[in-house]
């Protein structure tokens, strides 16, 4: 029997009639009081025991699901994050990062539908119509991780300017982002998405990534906001590279035994890459060509930067908001530096 839908309550769910809910069956909560509490906190009762909590938006058109470690998607994302870190431990405080939480994002139906249509137009094999995998009653696509062409590979060594590119499937790529200092969504138990306009991670949960924020200081804190391949949406198959762009989400907190940790967040997104222009140097194209229209005129849909002349790690850039579907929020920790102060 499923537990009450309020996180932390271990009591069993009651029949709908016992709580005053309509429709028969179970209400999702142990009592009418907890059902009302959930509504005030914008919580939805999880449909399966391997989901701990479900946060919903004010219009109930988007939601974020906190996955338990028993959920197959939690294990898949955790393994992908570790396998694609790609950087020596010395660069991250002497040890590899630890994934503390995985939250699945169900975007508004309009965001999902525009992505599905865009990916299908590029021949990208997007998910079927009718909403996200969660809306279809499936466990977030079965918990599997795509391994199509380019997944985790980036561009091959020595790709060169405009190297011959084949059309790719939708890929799962990482995106570093920022979080306001006062927002602890994903970091502290019970914290819900904030509604501040300047909190990038919560804004992405609500409406996906937007080109208007590309290069904004709050998003690119730590790299000066420079966009190597123009104003686009940047991703990497290397989670360690995306970590460099997650510095704006960092919070230093004390854990067990008083040890201090740097908490950060990162997104795992589905990206409709289409036919990428593969290069290892930004100078291979004019600035005006780093746009959706500019690339289309050349017969390409995205840019795939290979490790080489300008890059140490690969990155993928798309120039259409409909080419992106945020899927998971990854919360992870790194050892804190001695000179970093604790967050309040």
Per residue in 11-29, pLDDT (tens digit) is 999 886 554 444 444 579 9
User: CA 89, 94, 100: angle at the middle one, nearest 5?
Assistant: 80
- For 149, 167, 208, 317, the CA distances from 121, given in Å and listed in that order, are 18, 12, 20, 18
Task: Answer whether residue 335 shows pLDDT above 80.
Answer: yes
d(CA 318, CA 179): 22
What value does the mean pLDDT take over residues 191-211? 93
Report pLDDT for 104: 97
127 within 8 A of 107, measured Cβ to Cβ: no
d(CA 69, CA 88): 26
* Gap between the terminal Cα atoms of the chain: 39
Enumerate residues 6+ apart whose C-beta is below 8 A from 10: 3, 4
Task: Answer whether residue 292 shows pLDDT above 50.
Answer: yes
Report pLDDT for 339: 53
Report pLDDT for 148: 32
- For 3, 7, 26, 29, 137, the CA distances from 13, given in Å and listed in that order, are 6, 12, 6, 5, 20
246 within 8 A of 264, measured Cβ to Cβ: yes
Enumerate residues 6+ apart whose C-beta is below 8 A from 77: 99, 102, 145, 268, 328, 330
What value does the mean pLDDT take over residues 253-266? 86
- What is residue 162's three-state secondary structure? coil
- For 47, 87, 163, 321, the CA distances from 225, given in Å and listed in that order, are 41, 22, 28, 19
- What is residue 111's three-state secondary structure? helix
What value does the mean pLDDT take over residues 315-334? 96
| DSSP, res 27 | -
% of residues, the chain, pLDDT over 90: 58
d(CA 131, CA 210): 20
- What is residue 322's three-state secondary structure? helix
pTM score, two decimals? 0.83
182: buried, middle or exposed (CB in 10 Å: 19+, 13-18, 0-12)? Answer: exposed
pLDDT digits (tens, 9 = 90+) for 145-175: 232 333 333 333 334 445 445 566 799 999 9
């Amino acid at each position: 029997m499923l537990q009450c839908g309020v996180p932390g309550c271990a009591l069993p769910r009651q029949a709908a009639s016992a709580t005053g809910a309509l429709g028969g069956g179970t209400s999702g909560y142990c009592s009418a009081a907890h059902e009302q509490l959930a509504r005030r906190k914008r919580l939805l009762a999880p449909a399966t025991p391997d989901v701990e909590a479900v946060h919903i938006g004010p219009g109930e058109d988007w939601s974020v699901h906190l996955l338990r470690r028993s959920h197959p998607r939690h294990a898949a994302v955790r393994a992908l994050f570790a396998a694609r870190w790609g950087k020596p431990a010395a660069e991250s405080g002497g040890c590899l990062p630890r994934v503390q939480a995985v939250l699945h994002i169900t975007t508004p139906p309009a965001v999902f539908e525009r992505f599905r249509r865009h990916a299908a137009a590029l021949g990208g094999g997007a998910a079927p119509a009718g909403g996200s995998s969660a809306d279809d009653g499936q466990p977030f696509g079965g918990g599997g991780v795509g391994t199509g062409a380019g997944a985790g590979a980036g561009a091959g060594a020595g790709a060169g300017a405009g190297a011959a590119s084949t059309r790719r499937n939708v890929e799962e790529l990482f995106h570093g982002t920022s979080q306001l200092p006062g927002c602890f969504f994903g970091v502290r138990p019970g914290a819900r998405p904030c509604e501040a306009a300047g909190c990038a991670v919560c804004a992405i949960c609500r409406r996906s990534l937007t080109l208007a924020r590309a290069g904004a200081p709050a998003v690119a804190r730590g790299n000066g906001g420079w966009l190597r391949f123009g104003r686009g949406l940047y991703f990497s198959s290397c989670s360690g590279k995306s970590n460099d762009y997650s510095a704006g989400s960092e919070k230093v907190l004390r854990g067990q035994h008083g040890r201090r940790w740097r908490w950060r967040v990162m997104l795992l997104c589905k990206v409709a890459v289409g036919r990428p222009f593969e290069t290892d140097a930004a100078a291979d194209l004019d600035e005006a060509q780093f746009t959706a229209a500019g690339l289309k005129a050349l017969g390409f849909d995205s840019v795939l930067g290979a490790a080489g002349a300008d890059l140490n790690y690969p990155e993928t850039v798309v120039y259409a908001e409909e080419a992106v579907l945020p899927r998971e929020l990854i919360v992870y920790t790194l050892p804190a530096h001695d000179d970093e102060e604790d967050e309040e």
